[in-house]
Structure 1
Amino acid sequence: MDELTSDALTADYRVLQRKRGHRYSLDDVLTAYVACEAEPEAAEVLDLGTGIGSVLMMVAWKRPAARLVGVEAQEGSYALLQENLEANGLAARVRTIHGDFREPEVRAAIGGRFSLVTGTPPYFPPGTASVSPDPQRAYARVELRGGVEAYVETASLFLDDEGTFVVCAGAGAEPRVRGAADRHGLFVHARLDAIPRRGRAPLFSVYTLRRSAPETTWEGAFVAREADGTRTAEYVALRAYFGLTQKEDRG
């Protein structure tokens, strides 16, 4: 494995990640934020496709009483997940499962119901983007083990009756999200579009799904940078939500 960096994730937690591998980014932070706001009393949390643990650890930091389960199939990411949980004192609170959550034996190992389920799937179907020769980066970018549909299906199996599923998906994926939700008895309650720079098109969206049908669907936008490239006030507030100042933010 190549060189690792240790980067601030929250005020108290740091994340080890490969310098030239898949690294945590805005989609992880926004997914964790929306999840924590959607289920402020979440006691049982399931994170699908946990990767190196960024979303899982941010939720754990904001919800210190929650018990968490993380599922990850990719070998390199799973190894880093174990290191990150141990380094941040979370090994006792988080149960991890190494495997593909689409497989029956992995689903059996998950067990139970959860008040909050999170997921950050890859955005590109096979054939629509180049596949990196680096396995960790390849699985994080391309839907080699299924896309948002697989996440919605699996979440529907483990979400409790009043629970919330928060998932991010690439720009333009709303028909896929809604189609999968329809097939598996879930409803979209909210969509937050992530705009990288003011005036540009959304890069991805974070969806909030529940079993109940909403009276209305909330839609909003988050802008990360102003037109001149400076961080927006809402970006600074997002990082502060997890206890980070601009100086501590990895940038």
Structure 2
Amino acid sequence: MADATDTALVSSTNHYLDTERTPPTCWKCSGTGSLPTKPASPRDPSEPAQRKQCPVCKGFKHIAAQPRVSSKPAVRPFKKPPPVGPPACFALTDPEVAPGPGEFLSSLCGSWGIYQIVDGHRYTTDDVCTAMVAYRHLARLHAPHPPTVEKHLDIGTGLSSVLLMTAHRFHTTLKQSVGVEAQTIHVRLAQRSIALNGLAATASIRHGDLRDLARGDPGGLIPEGAVFDLVTGTPPYFPAAEGALPTVAGRGQCAFELRGGCEVYFDAAARFMAPGPRSRFVVCQTSREIRRMERAAKASGLRIMERWDVYGREGKAGPLFCVFCAARPDPDEAVGQGYDVRTLFVLLVESGRPLPE
């Protein structure tokens, strides 16, 4: 059962959750209150650039911390549910599983659904790609036999989207799936999504701090002696001091490193990965942190085996983000050996889309 409060934040931005704080700086105009509509003339430097009022903050330079009213439907099923994977335990339109105030229920993959927050963090393309890359990487690792995962750990599970998509893929072999999450509201919704999809016998969501796992102090979050052949994670992308924090606190805690960054994720994964050459840690991160991810993997005693560069469309100078597949180093391998880099084009991955085969 989830505790009454979230676990403590770690950064200097603890005031972010203070209700008396100054409203967050507008992310659109960076606190200027206006946006340029026409650059200054290069021929006449004295002619100033034309600007318009920022449509987000309305010129006030800050975003008022007010809940937004959503007109979107509370339940969003597939128009035609695909007959892929295990059947659903409940239909999304069943009154017994109706979302509560401020929540909505949407399709996730196959016939499975997930509870999300109307005005809060939701699962996105990087979650879908993390689960998909984990499956494809293990499929090649186990070829010509079908890939198998018996024990799966999802650290910083959020709404449990990666956990659920992984369980959907490996439903015939999965015996234990554990998700660890620090935010109370996410824990409660994830637990309901577990029950919605009939995974109560094999999956569980634990309310706790990932930093405890990284220190080797599971504190009941992980069953004693448990190790996992697949660990997944989707760390926040931005250091706490960079950028304007979102208006909604839950979104800020998912996007900014308020409880530690990728180093904490690698340390936690390394402690609970099963020994042997086939256990894997699959994690996503922004493409500007590639070198940092390499250093974090090395410091935790892991080695990156493969990197997937994910592009929104062809022709872009750089990827949107990257997915890394790390393993325990093989003592017989040459030191300093590089890793494979693959490219993934995500032309259209939307909420409610099933994972591609």
Q: TM-score, normalised by structure 1?
A: 0.86
**In 2, distance between residues paired with 1:134 and 1:30?**
25
Within 2, Cα distance between the matches of 1:168 and 1:93?
Answer: 25
Whole-angstrom distance in 2 between the partners of 1:82 and 1:62: 19
Greater shift in the superposed pair: 164-173 or 85-94: 85-94
Cα-to-partner distance string for 1:143-169 (whole Å, 9 max, x where unaligned): 101111110010000011231000001
Distance apart, 1:3 and its partner CA: 2.8
Distance 2:338 2:296 in 1: 19
Aligned to 2:117: 18
Distance in structure 2 (CA, Å) of the matches to 1:107 and 1:36: 30
Contact persistence 1:24–1:54 (CA under 8 A): yes
Quote the offset at 1:37 in angstroms.
2.5
* SS of residue in 2 equivalent to 1:22: coil
The offset of 1:129, in angstroms, is 2.0
Query: 1:1-251 maps to which residues of 2 (within 5 A)?
Result: 3-39=102-138, 40-64=147-171, 65-66=173-174, 67-103=176-212, 105-106=217-218, 108-110=220-222, 111=224, 112-162=226-276, 163-200=279-316, 201-213=318-330, 216-225=338-347, 231=348, 239=353, 241=355
Identify if the C-alpha distance between structure 1 residues 184 and 108 changes in structure 2 by more than 3 Å, giving closer, same or farther: farther
**Distance in 1 between residues matched to 2:228 and 2:166, nearest whole Å:** 14
1:63 aligned partner, one-letter code: F
Q: CA RMSD in A?
A: 2.0
Q: Which has the larger radius of gyration?
A: 2
Give the residue type in structure 1 aligned to 2:109.
T
State the Cα distance separating 1:172 from its structure 2 match.
Answer: 1.2
Where in structure 2 are there 5+ consecutive unaligned residues?
A: 1-99, 139-146
Shift of 1:242: 5.6
| Preserved CA contact (<8 Å) 1:9 1:242 | no
118-127 vs 192-201, which moves further: 192-201
Deviation at 1:23, TM superposition (A): 1.0
**Residue type of the alignment partner of 1:42:** V
User: What is the DSSP-based 3-state SS (H/G/I as helix, E as strand, rest coil) of the residue aligned with 2:167?
Assistant: helix
> How high is the sequence identity, in percent, across the aligned residues?
35
For each residue in 1:80-124, what CA deviation from the matched residue of structure 2 results, as whole angstroms up to 9, or x when unmatched? 111111111112211221010212553553142110000000100
- The code of the aligned residue for 1:195 comes to Y
Letter in 2 for 1:192: W
Contact 1:2/1:20 (<8 A) preserved: no
Deviation at 1:11, TM superposition (A): 0.7
Displacement of 1:182 in angstroms is 1.0
Q: Secondary structure at the match of 1:161?
A: coil
Deviates more, 1:103-112 or 1:35-44: 103-112
> Is the contact made by 2:207 and 2:221 (CA closer than 8 Å) also made in structure 1?
no
CA distance in 1, matches of 2:137, 2:219: 24
Deviates more, 1:87-96 or 1:149-158: 87-96
Q: Which runs of 4+ in 1 moved over 6 A?
A: none
Question: What SS is found at the alignment partner of 1:77?
Answer: helix
Aligned residues: 233
CA distance in 1, matches of 2:133, 2:296: 20
Q: Which moved more, 1:101-110 or 1:216-225?
A: 101-110
d(CA) in 1 for partners of 2:298 and 2:183?
29
Unaligned runs of 5+ in 1: 226-230, 244-251
Cα distance in 2 between the residues matched to 1:18 and 1:92: 25
Aligned 8 A contact 2:309 2:323 in 1: yes
CA distance in 1, matches of 2:184, 2:243: 22
CA distance in 2, matches of 1:122, 1:107: 23
More strand by share: 1
